[in-house]
Amino acid sequence: MTDGKPSRTTIPHGNCFSPEPSKRRDNKRKRSTRACDKCKKSKTKCSGDQPCTVCIAIGLEHQCTYNSPYSRGLPPKIAKNPARDRDSIYDHPNANTRYTSIILNPLHRQEPRQILPKLGPNGEFLHSTMVNSNSTFFQGNQQRFPTPIFTFGDLPMANYQSGMIALPYSDVGAKLIATYFNEVSPSLLFLHIPSVESWAADLLSDDGYMLQKNELRSKNAVVLLVFASAQAYLSGSEVTGFDPSMRYFQLADDQLNLEVGPPQLASIQARLLQCQYLLARGRINQCWSSFGAVVSLIYVLGIHRKHSKEGLVNLIDIECQKRVFWAAFALDKYLSYALNDRPQHIDLDSTDQDMPKLLNDRHLTSTFLMPVPRDTLSHNFASNLQIELATMISKILKDVYGVRKPTVKAHLTLAKGYMIDLSAWNEKASPLIRADLDTLNGSELYKLQRSELLLAYRHAYVLLLRNFTIDGSCVYSSAGVEDKETVSNEELESEIDELCGKLVEACLYICEIIEVSEQETERDKIELTQSLGFRSAWFTHYIMYSAAVVIYINGLRHVDRVATQTDCMILKKSLKLHQPLRDVSHPGTFIGQCVSVLDELKEALAFAMDQYQVEDQRARDGAADSSGSEDDENMVITLSVVMTEVRE
Cis peptide before 51 (omega within 30 of 0): yes
| pLDDT value of residue 521 | 41
Nearest 5°: the CA angle 224, 226, 229 is 110
pLDDT, tens digit (0-9, with 9 covering 90-100), for 221-253: 999 999 999 998 887 555 445 677 888 999 999
| pLDDT value of residue 241 | 52
Positions in the chain short of pLDDT 70 = 1-33, 57-59, 82-147, 150-153, 155-156, 158-164, 207-208, 236-242, 308-311, 437-442, 471-488, 516-532, 563-568, 623-648
Query: In 3D, which of 551, 553, 545, 550 has the Cα closest to residue 595?
Result: 545
Query: In 3D, which of 46, 269, 58, 275 has the Cα closest to residue 162?
Result: 58
Distance CA 341, CA 359 (A): 35
Question: In a 3-state reduction of DSSP, which class is residue 48?
Answer: coil
CB 230 within 8 A of CB 171: no
- Residue 641 Ramachandran class (φ > 0 left, ψ -120 to 50 alpha, else beta): alpha
Q: Where are the domains of the chain?
A: 1-86, 158-382
Cross-strand partners of 5: 2
Phi, psi angles (nearest 5°) of residue 53: -65, -30
Distance CA 393, CA 399 (A): 10
Q: Cβ–Cβ contacts within 10 Å for residue 269, how many?
A: 27
CB 417 within 8 A of CB 392: no
Amino acid symbol at 19: P
| pLDDT value of residue 102 | 28
| pLDDT value of residue 308 | 66
Which parts of 429-443 fold into alpha helices (H)?
A: 430-433, 437-440
| pLDDT value of residue 31 | 56
Distance CA 287, CA 338 (A): 12
- Checking 328-331 for CB contacts under 8 A at 24+ apart, the result is 328/190, 328/268, 328/272, 328/291, 328/294, 328/295, 328/298, 329/387, 329/390, 329/391, 329/394, 330/188, 330/386, 330/387, 330/390, 331/272, 331/275, 331/276, 331/291
Chain mean position to CA 343: 19
Q: Is the pTM of this model over 0.85?
A: no
CA distances from 243 to 228, 322, 405, 507 (A): 10, 33, 44, 34
Distance CA 292, CA 305 (A): 18
Amino acid symbol at 397: L
Nearest 5°: the CA angle 544, 547, 550 is 150
Distance CA 18, CA 12 (A): 12
Amino acid symbol at 95: A
Nearest 5°: the CA angle 15, 16, 19 is 90
Distance CA 476, CA 622 (A): 33
Distance CA 396, CA 645 (A): 37
Query: In 3D, which of 451, 361, 444 has the Cα closest to residue 183?
Result: 444
pLDDT, tens digit (0-9, with 9 covering 90-100), for 106-149: 333 333 333 333 334 444 434 444 444 444 444 444 444 456 77
Q: What is the DSSP string of 90-132?
A: HHSTHHHHS-S-S---GGG--PPP--SPPB-TTSPBPPGGGTT
CA distances from 102 to 81, 220, 602 (A): 36, 46, 9
| pLDDT value of residue 191 | 96
CB 466 within 8 A of CB 550: yes
Q: Is 31 exposed, middle or buried (0-12, 13-18, 19+ CB in 10 A)?
A: exposed
Spell out the residues 6+ positions from residue 351 whose beta carbon is closer than 8 angstroms to its own. 304, 305, 325, 329
